[in-house]
Amino acid sequence: MSDSPLTPEPPGHPDAPAGTPRSPRPKGEPRFPDGPRADPAGSHFERRIRSFQPRRSRVTQGQEDALQRLWPKWGLDIDGQRTLDLAELFGADIPVVLEIGFGMGEATAVMASEDPGTGILAVDVHTPGQGNLLNLADRAGLSNLRVGNGDAIILLREMLAPDSLAGLRVYFPDPWPKKRHHKRRLIQPEFLTLAASRLRPGALLHCATDWEPYAEVMLEVLTAHPDFENTRPDGGFAPRPAFRPLTRFEGQGLDKGHAVNDLLFRRVPLTEDSTGD
């Protein structure tokens, strides 16, 4: 196994000796008393069509340990009850990029390591991935990474100030391939309008997907939105930029002949007409 601090924890690798049983959890007790909550926003906000669905998979002992130790320091429950001070959250006045959906966090940890002057607020609902990313950040000594738990829409709408983000990353969102589920896709005009209100003028919106029909829809919707402009002069897809690492999931797709498309759009400056002046 590699000694690299960004080497992901092997599935099922425990920190405790083999065969050590876990203590049973009393009924009604939180799974991680000091970790992410199961439903941080609760019933405070109206239920809407979700663009995500929580995945059920086993939390390894190493991931559980990271959640218990590091969540109070680097974790954030998205409850929608306050506006975040990003300088306070990161302990420094640095540009902050929001990443929605980070999977197991390997690529996120690499990007944070290679760009220590940028804060990454990485949001997901997958508990094993949250624990894995915290573990990677701890082992690499990263200070510019925070992990959010919950609905990114509530985060954008209720907890982030206008023009507070230096960028937004949406890598390999659920394509919801069945036609009756297309309404669940994240990249839609309403989402882009909300995202634009939280992005600084000139901020980069970077999407990537290996589902070609969804890529075409993303390109169409982004091109039509007045708050964004394509960074590609030809108005098409972009090559994968050097700052986005090739993930294991992506590599497996490429081996199977899947096409991966990146979209790089910028938040256009506000005009007098758009501000109502």
Find out whether 263 and 192 touch, Cβ atoms under 8 Å. no
Catalytic residue among 15, 115, 138, 174: 174
Question: For residue 153, how many other CB atoms are within 10 A of its CB?
Answer: 22
Does residue 115 carry a catalytic annotation?
no
Nearest alpha-carbon partner for 202 in 160, 155, 265: 265
Find out whether 229 and 268 touch, Cβ atoms under 8 Å. yes
Q: Which residues, 6+ apart, have CB-to-CB distance to 47 below 8 Å?
A: none
Q: What is the CA radius of gyration of the chain?
A: 19
Q: Which residues, 6+ apart, have CB-to-CB distance to 81 below 8 Å?
A: 44, 158
Find out whether 145 and 133 touch, Cβ atoms under 8 Å. yes
Active site residues: 174
